[in-house]
Amino acid sequence: MDFDSALDRLTGLEAGGLHGEDFLLTWDKSDEEIRAVLAAADALRTLRESNHSARIFDSGLAVSLFRDNSTRTRFSFASACNLLGLAVQDFDEGSSQVAHGETVRETATMISFMADVVGIRDDMYIGKGHAYMAEFAQYVRESHAAGVLEQCPTILSLQSDVDHPTQAMADLLHLSHEFGGVDHLRGKKLAMTWAYSPSYGKPLSVPQGMIALMSRFGMEVVLAHPPGYDLMAEPRDIAANAALASGGSFTVTGSMAEAFEGADVVCAKSWAPHGAMEERAVLHETGDREGLRDLERRLLAENAQYRDWTTTEDLMASTADALYLHPLPADITGVSCAEGEVEAAVFDRQRDSLYRQAGNKPYAIAAMILLARVADPVSRLHQLKDGAHPRWQK
């Protein structure tokens, strides 16, 4: 990887559609725009590694709004914004006027004064997260059009109930590095499979983001899950159509072993049943605490029927020496839980690769922001490289 080759890739792509736009779903972006994010991420990485400043902002604010717990994505967003020269301010709804009934319209405008980016994570309730982000983005644009906001900040999804674009893009960046470019993913088999967890409420957006994005690059994507653990219809349909258009394939199986057989890439993690997550959203909205406790009991019992859905050395031996992916944190058998998504021996052997996978996310996020805020990213990146401004004085 070097700066000039990354810039050469970016130069030949039609990525102007990203400028001035939000990034909420990968499937709203063209293939060339997706490739542009990868190329810009690689260029930014080489700038930092060669001690060149990547600050495109002299000052400015990025606001992070997390409605669910986070470690990797929270710090990846902060790292990306800092790399580009933005300060980050966390917005705590619990200590704000939101707790007193402030509307989404007011919140969107009030936290966007002088903000260049707003990153939102809202993944806990089906039918709520992406809708909230879209509503937030609409109100920001209305306030900008009315002259209330001096600039219109980029709204970036840091995970919704529908998609996890920053994770999916980081994963695609990782695969691009491991296989020598996205064009070399064609014909590779990717197993996206459910795995057992002693908890029940993990979002569906990670597997949905994975199948919808990877199927666009000619991969043979296999989705595996037990009965009742299906995903939303929209990302499944998107994956099927994308696979058809790219010359790849998209299939669904009820066998983890079948998905692993001959796979080049495997990602095995837990997610909640779609129907149960819809029920959970209704119970939460109506404040039915007893109903939520009953749902949790039922789903934990249902999960427990499939304890054998776990990544083992035997399953990995059936692959084509597969690259193991996980968005982390993983439920590791005998380490973080009694029984979980992956055997400790498998996780330990794949640990460095998993950390490299996670390490792509700050650069993917920074690239999304760069392409949204800069009209001519190629020229701007050249200026950063030629400006001889060190990131820090060694």
- Residue at 393 is within a domain: no
For residue 339, the enclosing domain spans 165-358
Q: How far apart are CA 43 and CA 382, in angstroms?
A: 10
Assess whether 298 and 378 both reside in one domain.
Answer: no
Assess whether 326 and 189 both reside in one domain.
Answer: yes
Assess whether 66 and 150 both reside in one domain.
Answer: yes
Assess whether 206 and 336 both reside in one domain.
Answer: yes
Residue 29, Cβ density class (10 Å: 0-12 exposed, 13-18 middle, ≥19 buried): buried
Assess whether 118 and 128 both reside in one domain.
Answer: yes
Beta-carbon contacts of 334 under 8 Å, excluding residues fewer than 6 positions away, are: 343, 344
- Residue at 392 is within a domain: no
Tens of pLDDT along the chain (394 residues) come to 799 999 999 998 999 999 999 999 999 999 999 999 999 999 999 999 999 999 999 999 999 998 877 788 999 999 999 999 999 999 876 655 554 457 889 889 988 998 999 999 999 888 999 999 999 999 999 999 999 999 999 999 999 999 999 999 999 999 999 999 999 999 999 999 999 999 887 899 999 999 999 999 999 999 999 999 999 999 999 999 999 999 999 999 999 999 999 999 999 999 999 988 898 889 988 899 999 999 999 999 999 999 999 999 999 999 999 999 999 999 999 999 999 999 999 999 999 999 999 999 999 999 999 999 999 999 999 999 998 788 887 7
- Phi/psi for 246 (5° steps) reads -90, -5
Q: How far apart are CA 274 and CA 142, in angstroms?
A: 33
**Reduced to 3 states, what is the DSSP secondary structure of residue 341?**
coil
Assess whether 226 and 123 both reside in one domain.
Answer: no
> Is the separation of the CB atoms in 347 and 334 below 8 Å?
no
Assess whether 200 and 344 both reside in one domain.
Answer: yes
Give residue 390's Cα distance to chain centre.
Answer: 30
Beta strands in the chain (DSSP E): 61-66, 87-90, 115-122, 154-160, 189-194, 220-224, 249-253, 265-269, 323-325, 332-333, 342-343
Q: pTM, whole model, 2 decimals?
A: 0.94
DSSP string, 152-209: -PEEEEEEESS--HHHHHHHHHHHHHHHTSGGGGTT-EEEEEE---S-----SHHHHH
Beta-carbon contacts of 184 under 8 Å, excluding residues fewer than 6 positions away, are: none
CATH number of the domain that residue 40 is part of: 3.40.50.1370
Assess whether 214 and 342 both reside in one domain.
Answer: yes
> Is the separation of the CB atoms in 254 and 209 below 8 Å?
no
